[in-house]
A = this chain, B = another copy of it.
Amino acid sequence: MAGNTFGSTFKVTTFGESHGEALGGIIDGCPAGLKINFDAIQTEMQRRKPGQSKIVTQRKEPDAVKFLSGIFEGKTTGTPIGFVIENTNQKSKDYSHIKDTYRPSHADYTYDKKYGIRDYRGGGRSSARETASRVAAGAIAKQLLSKIKINAFVSSVGDIFIDKPYQDLDFTKIESNDIRCPDTPTAKKMITRINEIKKAGDTIGGTITCVLQNVPVGLGEPVFDKLHAQLGKAMLSINAVKGFEFGSGFCGAKMKGSEHNDLFNEDGTTKSNLSGGIQGGISNGMDIYFRVAFKPVATIMQKQETINSKGELTQMQGKGRHDPCVVPRAVPIVEAMAALVLADFWLLNKMSKL
């Protein structure tokens, strides 16, 4: 597989390490004739960017996407769209202390064992910095699917949860606070919590909920490439993700069929939507919603025992600029990956019937 390509028709391949020259990627398969809004792309980049608020890492990267091909006079031409994002703020010295040391719950150990060599600076390829390329590609997918509404938001931080169904939330408020939680009172609690955690040199996990609206009926390619299976893969491929559920999710596993079934209205919509907008792996036109679990960031500002590449015990402490909680910055990444999944299936669905 060689693991760095996502999608089969709207295909995105990314490259780049945290502290290398640049990140970037190629989108192959974007249909010709799409007018590109470059400002909208940069807005997405800003949402993911470090240093955007006090509760995220203070590493500063302009994260400007430079397009190198595939767009001519503002429109896509059907040829591959190459793009780069320069790493302008590489502080490689910050990372010399981990050159020979494996950080706990990071990918240092596994990369070293798998590849026999590792770019240790900032985690190299395993750094979440790689997701900048995903956000850039996803921003184009969003423009391709302009009729579909994609809204992700932070639904929990630690044990602080939004206690309302998503239908009662105002998505226009997602960007109104640093945590990207559309429920203002909950948002405040989350921010307070993150500040406490940060002071303690610790980190904390959280969840993101994503809602996809106006998705046409018919997206998804059973039996292996079901819409929710591909969404699940997309989300699980994001750094720090530990779980994915859609529709009724894990709660659905406690229910009875008579409670869980979504009865139809005459127009094909359903009265309830525990299915989460997908039946048999194919979108049914109802809202698609899913929830993604993120573990706490592994780099903490506390001393931890660990080992070095010789298998000797040693102590280490996080340095540099790290997020105390990954979820606010992960919101645009979740949306980007959802957009990539939808774009791929939207194209594939053109071939379903004569």
Contact = CB atoms under 8 A, between A and B. Distances in A.
Interface residues of A, number: 151
Contacts of A105: 260-262, 274-275, 279
20 contacts: A3-B222, A4-B79, A5-B11, A6-B224, A15-B26, A15-B28, A31-B352, A72-B117, A79-B119, A107-B279, A107-B281, A110-B220, A113-B218, A156-B254, A205-B260, A229-B236, A230-B233, A243-B243, A243-B249, A245-B293
Nearest to A217: B113
A166 interface: no
B119 A257 contact: no
Given A107-B282, A109-B268, A257-B300, A69 B217 contact: no
A118 interface: yes
A293 B35 CA distance: 40
Q: How many copies does the complex hold?
A: 4
Contacts of A72: 17, 20, 117-119, 124
A78 B257 contact: no
A24 B24 CA distance: 11
A250 B69 contact: no
A229 B341 CA distance: 14
Contacts of A11: 2, 5
Interface in A83-128: 84, 102, 104-107, 109-111, 113-119, 124-126
Given A15-B70, A20-B68, A20-B72, 16 more contacts: A3-B223, A3-B225, A4-B79, A26-B26, A32-B114, A84-B84, A105-B279, A107-B222, A113-B282, A114-B352, A204-B257, A205-B256, A229-B233, A243-B250, A257-B300, A350-B350
Contacts of A3: 28, 220-226
Contact of A4 (B217, B224, B268, B294): B224
- Residue of A2, A81, A270 most packed against chain B (CB within 10 A): A2
A313 B54 CA distance: 55
A100 to B, nearest CB: 13
A252 to B, nearest CB: 4
A287 to B, nearest CB: 15
A268 to B, nearest CB: 6
A282 to B, nearest CB: 4
A149 B16 CA distance: 31
Given A15-B82, A26-B15, A80-B13, A296 B249 contact: no
A34 B115 CA distance: 11
Contact of A68 (B84, B263, B264, B344): B84
B1 A305 contact: no
A231 to B, nearest CB: 8
Interface in A5-31: 5-6, 8-11, 13-17, 20-26, 28-29, 31
